[in-house]
Amino acid sequence: MKRALVSVSDKTNLVPFVKGLEDSGFEIVSTGGTKKVLDDAGIHTISIEDVTHFPEILDGRVKTLNPYVHGGLLARRELPEHLATLKKLNITPIDLVCVNLYPFKETVEKPNVKLTDAIENIDIGGPSMLRSAAKNYRDVTVVVDQSDYDQVLSEIQKNGTTDLETRAKLAAKAFHHTAAYDALISQYLTKQNGLEDPEKLTLTWNLKETMRYGENSHQKAWLYQDAIPKVFSVLSATQLHGKKLSYNNIKDVDEALRCIREFDEPTVIAMKHMNPCGIGRGETLEQAWDRAYAADTVSIFGGVIALNRKVDLATAQKMHKIFLEIVIAPGFDDDAYELLAKKKNIRLLSLDFSKKDEPTKHEVVSVMGGMLMQEQDVLEEDYHDWKCVTEVQPTDEQLKNLMFAWKTVKHAKSNAIVVANDERTLGVGEGQPNRIDSLKIAVKHAGNDIDERTVMASDAFFPFGDCVEYAGQHGIKAVVQPGGSIRDQESIDMANRYGITMVLTGVRHFRH
């Protein structure tokens, strides 16, 4: 008779699976709560103590760490000496292991979880059994995922055992499972101990979707989500309408969310190819939309729109007039949704914005042969901390406008220049190999809208005085920049020549 060892935390669909094993001639060894569930279902089980000849000890911390278990799992059936050892020690081979692990992830996701509770939900015996079974997959079937129950049972019912190819794939899945489990534990304990640069970095994500393609149609792509999902994320959004998001869509929405979380007043972000093409703010969402649209009526076509208020009908009526790829917001009024959803090709996403300020410590990007990790650029800044270095001092109104431009420029690709007023961006110049070209693009977009309210933000210092001179020649009266160039004085002198007020932040916001 074949033997299966079953011990699971998540008992979803367990009973019919194990009943199928029993009907196929397996005897069932089980533990604790799993045994009770199976016994109550009328399935005959053997207690783990009857296998190990040893009681569970230390509040259940030790029950399966025993040669009668691991010998039964690791013995190679094709080696006579292994089988002789089993016979000599009266160890019964184990042919199938069905195990899923203590709910460590679910435990640490709870608010205010105690470290002691997290520690007690670190499984030791479970991963050990999975690793033993997976190592010996030529003889042992290892099951960690309920989605595999049907296939495993079907093959056993048809052939008396699972296919070798199936066992090999299940073994790989088991090692993925234990590796991800250990990675989550290491991440948690690393955070608990305040370690910023562990010598071994272990991260884990779960496959959310196999995508149609990547950045281009010839590239394969997969979407993975943090093992502990972040609430304020495109991956946590609810898609209400439209076809699936593409690889590029997800990157654009992510960038739009990074930008929109900077603002508390009604604000609309228009994002195009991961660059803001228009940002507007107002007393109402409709007014904010009008201003974001006016910022760049050309580039917004086919753009990604992020709004930090529930979309009302008045705003939806204006958005409905042009082609938009995606709209993401805290929600949609029923009539607003009904109108926008009439467009087949628009995607409508709803997201909980109440968590926009939750801690977002690190981000990673890949490079060939490795990866880079850094803290996210979520520095909280106050214009009262800025330093004015020019003869003309900024007014309170100018400082507020400069802060608006400064929050915007950090989300444009370097070299980045933003020209704005108190209502909206007027022009954004980004991604140019030199700063003066970015400024020229921004000023060109601003055109005749530059007036006494207009300010300019630069994501990094001016290497020469030419940018300030160009700004002065085009009527810009206030500038914010990090400072720190050996030629800062050249820019300061140029600002004084044109009657510009200039403040230095001491912080740059490159975005590559």
Beta-strand relationship, 417-420 and 455-458: antiparallel
Distance CA(506)–CA(483), nearest Å, equals 6
Distance CA(509)–CA(409), nearest Å, equals 8
Asked if 362 is an active-site residue, the reply is no
CB contact at 8 A, 493 and 443: no
At what angle are helices 32-40 and 14-23 packed, to 10 degrees?
Answer: 70
Among the listed residues 135, 176, 230, 320, the single catalytic one is 135
Instruction: Quickly tell me which residue has 């140029």 as its tokens.
Output: 494
Asked if 273 is an active-site residue, the reply is yes
* Rg of the chain in Å (alpha carbons): 30
The one-letter amino acid at 261: R
210 Cβ contact list (under 8 Å, min separation 6): 221, 222, 223
CB contact at 8 A, 253 and 245: yes
In sequence order, the β-bridge partners of residue 226 are 205
3-class secondary structure, 43: coil
Among the listed residues 2, 273, 320, 343, the single catalytic one is 273
Number of Cβ atoms within 10 Å of the Cβ of 409: 30
Q: Where are the alpha helices (DSSP H) in 296-434?
A: 313-319, 334-340, 396-409
Phi, psi torsion values for 177, nearest 5 degrees: -65, -50
CB contact at 8 A, 96 and 27: no
Identify the CA nearest to 276 among candidates 121, 156, 431, 393. Answer: 431
487 Cβ contact list (under 8 Å, min separation 6): 462, 463, 464, 465
3-class secondary structure, 425: strand
Distance CA(192)–CA(187), nearest Å, equals 9
User: Chain centroid to CA 420: how far?
Assistant: 31
Identify the CA nearest to 173 among candidates 211, 145, 136. Answer: 145
Residues with catalytic roles: 135, 273
